[in-house]
C-alpha cells in the first residue's frame, strides 16, 4: 500500500496505483540511466562503524538480469567476523543514538526523505540495472520510500515520540505507554523491493532509537549501499548504521546467536524466514522481537457484478507488475462462472498488449526475472500447464488461453513472456 502525503517533489509522482506517468519523467530517468551506465563495474566496500572495510575473503561479482554480460559491480564477501564486528559497533552506538532526542531523529529522517526525493532518478536507474524493474516500477519504489519516511516522521510527532496517555486503571490512577528502543537490529532485505523494503525496516528501527546493520540481498547490494549513503548524508551518526554484503549463510549464525542482537527484521522467503525465527528463538538467552514479511499466495476474486475492464486491468498490474515477483502479486484469480469466458478473453487480449523486453526501454512493462533459478521455475510451471492442457484439480477440462512464453530476445537476459492458465 502506498501512503499518500503532501510532497514537495518536483517531478510528477509515480505510484503503484497510477504506474503511468507524465512524460516529463522520462528524460531525467534516461539521463540517470546513461550516467550510471558509465559507473558500471566499480568496486565497493562495506561500512562497519567508522571503517570502510575490504574483505580478505575477496569480492563477488554482481551481474545484471537485463544482460548477464553487464557487471553492475564488485562487492565484498562478508564473513562471520564482519557480522560480529558490525553487531559490536551498532550495539556500542545504541546508547548515544537512543538518547538522541526523538525530535532530532525525526528531523534526520525528514532530511533523508528529501535526499531520496533529490536522488530518486539515480536510485531508480540502479534498481533497473540491479533487479530488472521497468522505470515506472523503479520510480514508484523510490516515491514510496519518500512517503514512508515522511509518514513515520508524522506519526512520531502525533504520538509525541511514542508516549501515549492511557485511561485510568482505577480511581486516582494515571497510566501511559512509553515506547522504548531495543538495541542493534540486523535488517535483511530482498531483491523485489531492494530500496523500499530495506528502507521500511531500517527506518522504523532508526527513527525509534534502534541501531541497524543493513544486510541487502546479493541480488541488489548497490541499492542497499545507496540507502546507507542516504542515512549517513541525512545525519545518522557513524556506527549507528552499518552496511555489510555477501552470502546470507556467512551472517546467519552470528545474527541469530549473538546476545548483543536485540531483534531481527527480515523480508524474504518463507523457508529462510521460518529458519531464522526458530534459530533466533532458541539461540538467544531470552525471547526477542522478530519482524518478518514472507511470501504467500494472493487471489483476486471477480464476480459477475464487477466492472470487467477495471478487473482485467487490476489483475494485469497485480499479476505481471515486476513479472509477478512480489509477495503481493496476484497468482490466482477466482472468477464467477457466468463471466469466465468473457473475462478470460479480455484478460488474454490485455496481456498480449504488454511490452516485454529490456526494462530500460520506455515501452517495456514486463522485463527479466531475477536470475536463472527464476527462469527454471517459470519453465517448470509452463511445462506443467502444457502437460495438463488446462486440466484443473477437479479433473474437468477447461479452455486454456495459452500465451507464447518463449524468449523473444537474447538468452543473456533472464526473461519470459506472461502466461495464463485457466482451470475449471
Q: Which positions are catalytic? A: 293, 327
**Start-end of H helices in 208-247:** 221-234
Name the 3-class secondary structure at 330: strand
Q: Which three three-digit cell numbers place residue 66?
A: 537485463
Cα separations in angstroms, 98 against 205, 211, 260: 10, 8, 15
Pairing outcome for strands 46-48 and 51-53: antiparallel
Please count the CA atoms within 13 angstroms of the CA of 240 that sit on its side-chain side.
Answer: 26
Collect all residues with Cβ–Cβ distance below 8 Å to 71 and sequence separation of at least 6. Answer: 40, 41, 61, 62, 63, 64
Do residues 226 and 138 touch, judged by C-beta distance below 8 A?
no
DSSP string, 89-134: HHHHHHHHHHTS-HHHHHHHHHHHHHHHHHHHHHHHHHHHHHH---
- Mapped onto helix, strand or coil, the DSSP state of residue 174 is coil
Q: Which three cell numbers stand for residue 106?
A: 525525526
Sheet holding 71-76, edge to edge: 42-44, 71-76, 59-63
* Ramachandran bin of 112, using left for φ above 0, alpha for ψ from -120 to 50, beta for the remaining angles: alpha
H helices, E strands: number in the chain: 11, 14
* b/e per residue 250-287 (b: at least 16 CB within 10 A): bbbebbbebeebbbbbbbbeeebbeebbebbeebbeee
Scan for cell 506443467, then name that residue: 384
Amino acid at each position: 500500500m502506498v501512503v499518500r502525503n503532501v510532497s514537495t517533489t518536483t517531478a510528477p509522482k509515480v505510484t503503484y496505483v497510477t504506474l503511468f506517468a507524465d512524460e516529463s519523467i522520462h528524460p531525467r530517468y534516461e539521463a540517470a540511466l546513461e550516467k550510471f551506465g558509465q559507473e558500471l563495474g566499480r568496486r565497493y566496500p562495506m561500512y562497519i562503524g567508522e571503517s570502510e572495510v575490504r574483505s580478505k575473503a575477496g569480492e563477488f561479482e554482481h551481474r545484471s538480469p537485463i544482460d548477464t554480460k553487464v557487471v553492475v559491480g564488485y562487492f565484498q564477501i562478508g564473513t562471520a567476523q564482519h557480522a560480529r564486528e558490525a553487531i559490536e559497533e551498532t550495539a556500542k552506538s545504541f546508547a548515544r543514538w537512543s538518547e538522541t532526542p526523538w525530535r532530532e531523529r525525526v528531523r534526520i529522517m525528514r532530511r533523508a526523505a528529501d535526499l531520496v526525493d533529490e536522488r530518486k532518478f539515480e536510485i531508480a536507474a540502479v534498481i533497473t540495472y540491479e533487479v530488472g524493474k521497468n522505470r515506472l516500477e523503479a520510480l514508484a519504489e523510490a516515491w514510496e520510500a519518500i512517503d514512508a519516511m515522511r509518514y513515520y516522521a508524522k506519526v512520531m510527532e502525533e504520538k509525541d515520540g511514542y508516549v501515549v496517555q492511557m485511561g485510568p486503571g482505577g480511581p486516582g490512577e494515571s497510566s501511559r505507554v512509553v515506547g522504548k528502543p531495543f538495541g542493534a537490529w540486523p535488517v535483511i532485505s530482498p531483491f523485489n523491493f531492494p530500496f523500499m523494503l530495506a528502507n521500511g525496516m531500517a527506518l522504523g528501527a532508526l527513527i525509534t532509537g534502534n541501531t541497524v546493520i543493513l544486510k541487502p540481498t546479493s541480488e541488489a547490494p548497490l541499492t542497499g549501499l545507496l540507502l546507507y549513503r542516504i542515512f549517513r548524508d541525512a545525519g545518522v551518526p557513524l556506527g549507528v548504521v552499518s552496511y555489510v554484503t555477501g552470502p546470507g549463510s556467512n551472517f546467519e549464525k552470528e545474527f541469530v546467536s549473538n546476545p548483543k542482537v536485540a531483534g531481527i527484521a527480515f523480508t524474504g522467503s518463507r523457508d529462510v524466514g521460518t529458519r531464522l525465527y526458530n534459530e533466533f528463538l532458541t539461540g538467544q538467552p531470552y525471547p526477542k522481537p522478530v519482524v518478518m514479511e514472507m511470501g504467500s499466495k494472493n487471489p483476486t476474486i471477480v464476480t459477475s457484478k464487477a466492472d470487467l475492464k477495471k478487473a482485467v486491468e487490476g489483475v494485469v498490474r497485480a499479476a505481471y507488475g515486476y513479472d509477478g515477483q512480489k509477495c503481493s502479486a496476484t497468482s490466482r484469480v477466482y472468477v464467477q462462472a457466468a463471466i469466465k469466458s468473457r473475462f478470460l478473453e479480455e484478460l488474454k487480449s490485455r496481456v498480449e498488449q504488454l511490452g516485454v523486453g529490456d526494462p530500460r526501454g520506455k515501452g517495456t512493462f514486463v522485463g527479466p526475472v531475477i536470475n536463472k533459478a527464476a527462469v527454471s521455475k517459470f519453465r517448470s510451471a509452463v511445462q506443467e500447464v502444457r502437460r495438463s492442457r488446462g486440466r484443473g484439480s477437479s479433473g474437468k477440462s477447461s479452455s486454456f488461453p495459452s500465451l507464447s512464453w518463449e524468449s523473444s530476445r537474447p538468452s543473456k537476459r533472464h526473461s519470459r513472456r506472461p502466461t495464463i492458465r485457466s482451470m475449471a
